[in-house]
A = this chain, B = another copy of it.
Amino acid sequence: MFKKVLIIGCGLIGSSIARAICNQKLAKNVYIYEKSIKNILVLKNLRIKFKIIKNLEKNLIHFDMIIFCIPMSQYQNIIKKINNFVTSHTIITDVGSTKELINIKVKKLLKKKSQWIPSHPIAGSEVSGAKYGNKDLFKNKWCVLIKEQNTNKKSLNKLKIFWKKMGSKIVFMNLKQHDAIFSITSHLPHLIAYNLVKTATDFEKGKKYNLIKYSAGGLRDFSRIAASNEIMWRDIFFSNNKNIISAINKFIKNLKSFQKDIRHNNNKIIKKLINTKKVRKKIISLKQDINKPDFGR
Contact = CB atoms under 8 A, between A and B. Distances in A.
Interface string A255-297: 1101101110101011011111101111100101110111111
A125 B294 contact: yes
A269 B195 CA distance: 11
Interface stretch (A18-26, A35-43, A147-155, A246-254): A246-254
Nearest to A241: B262
A194 interface: yes
Nearest to A261: B237
Contacts of A234: 267, 269-270, 273
Interface residues of A, number: 103
B238 A262 contact: yes
Contacts of A194: 258, 272-273, 276
Most chain-B CB neighbours within 10 Å: which of A193, A196, A269?
A: A196
A138 to B, nearest CB: 10
Contacts of A123: 216, 295
A126 B295 CA distance: 8
Contacts of A233: 273
A286 B213 contact: yes
Given A185-B218, A211-B185, A288-B215, A223 B293 contact: no
Given A125-B295, A181-B211, A293-B132, A280 B141 contact: no
Given A177-B209, A289-B297, A214 B182 contact: yes
A14 to B, nearest CB: 16
Given A195-B255, A234-B269, A293-B127, A283 B220 contact: yes
A192 B286 contact: no
Contacts of A177: 209
Interface in A175-189: 177, 180-182, 184-189
Contact of A252 (B189, B255, B294): B255
A166 to B, nearest CB: 15
25 contacts: A123-B295, A137-B295, A142-B213, A181-B214, A182-B214, A185-B200, A185-B211, A185-B218, A186-B219, A197-B276, A197-B279, A198-B254, A198-B272, A198-B275, A198-B276, A199-B247, A199-B254, A215-B288, A224-B280, A227-B280, A230-B270, A231-B270, A234-B270, A248-B258, A289-B297
Given A142-B213, A212-B286, A252-B252, 20 more contacts: A122-B216, A123-B216, A137-B295, A142-B214, A171-B213, A180-B207, A185-B219, A188-B196, A189-B196, A189-B218, A191-B255, A194-B273, A198-B254, A200-B279, A215-B289, A220-B289, A221-B221, A223-B276, A223-B289, A245-B262
